[in-house]
């Protein structure tokens, strides 16, 4: 592989663009095709299928043995709320291979002293998400309990087809959230995709344990998602 090919793969990954790498196993020649690029007609169907399924493999095209590798954007977690659970979740997410961003307009919470090197934005979600939109490779965990902060990103995540949308709060809190979202015109089918109370039911009690439960639920949503890339968690 040429070094420029490696650089192109990493550039696509850094930009959160899906990319397919086609390697001719006979002569080792490889090429990178970012999502949305023009594909050679003879390879078009295998590249499109690889992007759709996310599956890598060896295939034969016109008598040539090709290895098709797919690099989908690394899954990302966006947490709303620079709260105690987010502090624990940030550490766990890094180990499990997720990029993580924490958004909280409350500057008392969003401090580097509490979060170190994690991507932390002390701004309103409305402002952050307009320049850094959510996508279907992103999990959103709304953790502030505060409708003024949580509701907007929850709606944005449902619209963007995030593979996971979870919201902290008791059943009662969630019931009032459902009412607000319904009144705001969010379809019932979309609202039903919100995981609440958040996290797998492992009887988590401490903030760190709740973070484990949330991360486990995010991993489940990622691994069970429709390979065609429709809204996450769809069965």
Partner 1 sequence: MSTEPNVLDPLEIAETWCSDGRKVALATVIETWGSAPRPVGSHLVIDEEGNFQGSVSGGCVEGAVIAEAMDIIASGTSRILEFGVADETAWRVGLSCGGRIRVYVERIDG
Contact positions vs partner 1 (CB under 8 A): 1-4, 6-7, 9-10, 13-14, 23, 25, 28, 55-58, 67, 69-70, 97, 117
Which residue lies nearer to partner 1 by CB, 6 or 37? 6
Neighbours of 11 (CB within 10 A): 13
Which residue lies nearer to partner 1 by CB, 121 or 190? 121
Under 8 Å between Cβ of 137 and 76: yes
User: Which structure tokens are listed for 89?
Assistant: 């979740």
Measured in whole angstroms, the distance separating CA 123 from the mean position of its chain's CA atoms is 20
Which residue lies nearer to partner 1 by CB, 50 or 204? 50
Which residue lies nearer to partner 1 by CB, 131 or 183? 131
Q: In the bound complex, what is the minimum distance in angstroms from residue 116's beta carbon to partner 1?
A: 11
Q: In the bound complex, what is the minimum distance in angstroms from residue 153's beta carbon to partner 1?
A: 22
Which residue lies nearer to partner 1 by CB, 59 or 173? 59
Q: In the bound complex, what is the minimum distance in angstroms from residue 63's beta carbon to partner 1?
A: 18
Which residue lies nearer to partner 1 by CB, 135 or 146? 135
Closest by Cα among 154, 126, 133 to 73? 133
Q: In the bound complex, what is the minimum distance in angstroms from residue 28's beta carbon to partner 1?
A: 4
ω before 105 within 30° of 0 (cis)? no
197: which DSSP letter? Answer: S
Q: In the bound complex, what is the minimum distance in angstroms from residue 50's beta carbon to partner 1?
A: 10
40: which DSSP letter? Answer: P
Backbone angles phi, psi at 58, to 5 degrees: -95, 135
Q: In the bound complex, what is the minimum distance in angstroms from residue 160's beta carbon to partner 1?
A: 22
d(CA 40, CA 215): 40
d(CA 76, CA 126): 18
Under 8 Å between Cβ of 38 and 30: no
């Amino acid at each position: 592989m040429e070094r420029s090919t490696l650089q192109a793969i990493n550039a696509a990954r850094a930009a959160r663009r899906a990319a397919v790498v086609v390697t001719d196993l006979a002569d080792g020649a490889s090429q990178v095709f970012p999502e949305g690029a023009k594909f050679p007609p003879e390879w078009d169907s295998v590249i499109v299928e690889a992007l759709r399924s996310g599956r890598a493999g060896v295939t034969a095209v016109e008598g040539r043995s090709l290895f098709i590798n797919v690099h989908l954007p690394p899954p990302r977690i966006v947490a709303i709320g620079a709260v105690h659970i987010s502090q624990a979740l940030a550490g766990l997410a890094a180990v499990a291979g997720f990029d993580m961003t924490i958004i909280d307009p409350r500057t008392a919470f969003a401090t580097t002293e509490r979060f170190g090197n994690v991507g932390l934005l002390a701004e309103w979600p409305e402002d952050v998400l307009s320049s850094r939109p959510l996508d279907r490779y992103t999990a959103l965990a709304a953790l502030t309990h505060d409708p003024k902060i949580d509701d907007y990103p929850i709606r944005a995540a449902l619209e963007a087809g995030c593979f996971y949308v979870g919201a902290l709060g008791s059943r009662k809190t969630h019931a009032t959230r459902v009412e607000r979202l319904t009144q705001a015109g969010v379809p019932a089918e979309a609202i039903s995709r919100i995981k609440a109370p958040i996290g797998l039911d492992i009887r988590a009690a401490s903030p760190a344990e709740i973070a484990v439960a949330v991360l486990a639920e995010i991993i489940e949503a990622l691994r069970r998602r429709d390979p065609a890339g429709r809204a996450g968690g769809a069965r």
